[in-house]
Chains A and B, each alone.
Chain A
Amino acid sequence: MPADAQIGASFRDPSGFVYHKEGMLLRQVNASYRESLARLADSGLYQDLTAGGLLIPHTQVALDHALSAQAIAVLKPEFIPTISYPYEWCFSQLKDAAITTLQIQRRAIEHEMTLKDASAYNIQFNHGRPVLIDSLSFEPYEPGKPWKPYKQFCQHFVAPLVLMSRVDVRLSKLAGSFIDGIPLDLASKISKPATRFNPRIAVHLHLHAKMQRSQSSKAPQNQPRGAFGKNALLGLVESLQSLVESLQWKPEGTEWADYYSDTNYSSAAMSDKHRLVSSYLAAIDPKPATVWDIGANNGEFSALATSQGIHTVAWDIDPAAVEKNYRSRRDDRLMLPLMQDLTNPSPAIGWSLKERDSLIERGPADAVMALALIHHLAIGNNVPLPEIASFMSKIGRWLILEFVPKQDSQVQRLLSTREDIYSEYTQASFEAAFGEKFDFVRKEAVGDTVRTLYLLRRRFDH
């Protein structure tokens, strides 16, 4: 159970903050947000957004649960099992998050309110859909005023989507280096050769970046003033949405995009592996609430966990594999495909390294599946087996692991381009290394292969 404390990411907005108290995740609303909170409820906007699945629903709890004296209300939002970040999303996830933000802004304007921020971090995936988690992101609409978070929206959504779509999908990683979104001048510089003649990108990215540069030295009293009617505000949403919708990316050509059509599994082996994984998942007691499938590719085996009613995060390094998983399983409300490079996992970032949690800080999952992965870590990345065992014990309480021995054709493929310095990579060494951290619960050979599937239980949990 997390200690009673304010969440590290929740300090910028004076309207309130999120914190843990008595095992609950709560949101304190401060006095400065009184009018906006009342308007959110009275205007019908809260009802409209929550009914449409665009805003996380909350219940109001007693003020005794507040963390400080400025509180005027305490909200208890619906629990989201996994927090993810934009630099872990595939192209379509970021695009859906952008469209969700614009839909919320449109509905807010219809209710005489507006979004006062448009951070991608305020969007999370819940039940497979993007949803706004910050109930304090609204303020009353002020006639004549432009949209304050226009710049933030372009930095958090337009810039990465343009870069991913028109330059290289791997540029989504830039979002992890810039906590408040990718600077527009940088995105403009990188993408200009490919997007110069696209009128929407020319305005919202290139001209926008230019205007920022030319106006950056203006003192506050010289800031532009002028009428920006409600139709203009709605037109801005319309224009941004048509830009976002026009951006496309086809998931192909990456290293792992066609893994399952280029694998050494026979159909009998594949079917036996399915059977074993399902039976191991069912054997975990108590039933896991969350499974992390690391190296999940397109989520074929992750879907075995969701079919047992378990919320499953399908992590993979490959943007195309994650994209395919997301697109093909939109109706699977328990599946969350995310990008993750296990050789360099998401670190803690932001102010005081507390704003965005590392991969390990978001664990441990109740169960981890690591299928056909260990040879990539041990041989592909030279990680010693005891180090892999230690890492696995940090991220999961139970572990379903497929050991792939040296004689397997996939390992031989890895060894074909490097010297075999991996004398320690044997099944006996594997069992010795993992035996330090885990108890062996089950061990079975995968039919028609030289591989073995293990069910392991972390030792210090019992």
Chain B
Amino acid sequence: MFMGHKRILTANGARTLNTELDSASIFINMKLFSRALNLILACGCFLLISRSANAYIDAGSGSYLLQIIFAGFLGGLYFVMSAFRNLKAAVVKRVGIRKGNDSSEHAG
């Protein structure tokens, strides 16, 4: 923080070389310092939040890699299983309707 403050003052001071630091330039310096401070704090907070939003458990490089290697297979597996479930549900529904019709016919 202190080093940042120093650098800002020096950079700004270069532009006002051979001139006296009047109250206006001090105000500008303070404003720049305040903005820089806010930016640093905001970045710090973002980093902290980002870090805590990451896994607090060790996900493991090997475990990650294994999942990526099998990504295509797993995606395919899900597709096939979903299709099978949908087909099964449709058949069960159809058979159920037919059975319902049959029983209502018998009842009639």
Contacts and interface: CB of A to CB of B under 8 A. Distances in A.
Size bracket, chain A contacts: 35 or more
B66 interface: yes
Contacts, number: 116
Given A232-B72, A238-B81, A150 B56 contact: no
Contacts of B60: 150-151, 212, 215
Chain A, interface SS category: helix
A224 B67 CA distance: 10
Contacts of B68: 146, 224-228
A20 interface: no
B74 interface: yes
B63 interface: yes
Given A151-B63, A211-B63, A229 B55 contact: no
Interface stretch (A9-17, A283-291, A377-385, A450-458): A9-17
Contacts of B81: 235, 238
A349 interface: no
Nearest to B78: A235
Contact of B78 (A31, A32, A227, A234): A234
B66 A231 contact: no
A401 B70 CA distance: 57
Contacts of B74: 231-233, 235-236, 238-239
A215 B67 contact: no
Interface string B58-79: 1111111111101111111111
Chain B, interface SS category: helix
Interface in B28-76: 48-49, 52-53, 55-68, 70-76
B67 A13 contact: no
B55 to A, nearest CB: 4
A233 B49 CA distance: 25
Given A208-B63, A216-B62, A227-B71, A148 B77 contact: no
A87 interface: no
A207 B66 contact: yes
Interface in A81-97: none
A236 B62 contact: no
A116 B64 CA distance: 14
A208 B65 CA distance: 9
A151 B58 contact: yes
A223 interface: yes
B53 A139 contact: yes
B61 A223 contact: yes
Contact of B52 (A32, A147, A154, A224): A32
Contact of B62 (A139, A152, A212, A222): A212
Contacts of A229: 71, 75
A224 B55 contact: no
Given A234-B78, A238-B77, A203 B70 contact: yes
B55 A150 contact: no
B59 A150 contact: yes
A186 B62 CA distance: 16
Given A148-B55, A239-B77, A32 B49 contact: yes
Contacts of A231: 74-75, 78-79
A90 to B, nearest CB: 26
A218 interface: yes
Given A15-B52, A208-B66, A226-B68, A149 B59 contact: yes
Interface of A: 12-15, 31-32, 35, 116-117, 139, 146-152, 154, 203, 207-208, 210-216, 218, 222-229, 231-236, 238-239
20 contacts: A12-B57, A35-B53, A146-B63, A146-B64, A146-B68, A148-B59, A149-B55, A149-B59, A151-B60, A208-B62, A211-B62, A212-B60, A212-B61, A223-B61, A224-B61, A226-B71, A229-B71, A232-B74, A234-B78, A239-B74
Given A31-B49, A225-B68, A228-B67, 16 more contacts: A13-B56, A15-B56, A32-B52, A117-B55, A117-B57, A146-B63, A149-B57, A203-B66, A211-B63, A215-B60, A224-B65, A227-B71, A232-B67, A232-B75, A233-B74, A236-B70
The 7 closest A-B pairs by CB, nearest first: A235-B74, A211-B62, A235-B78, A212-B62, A146-B67, A151-B63, A215-B62
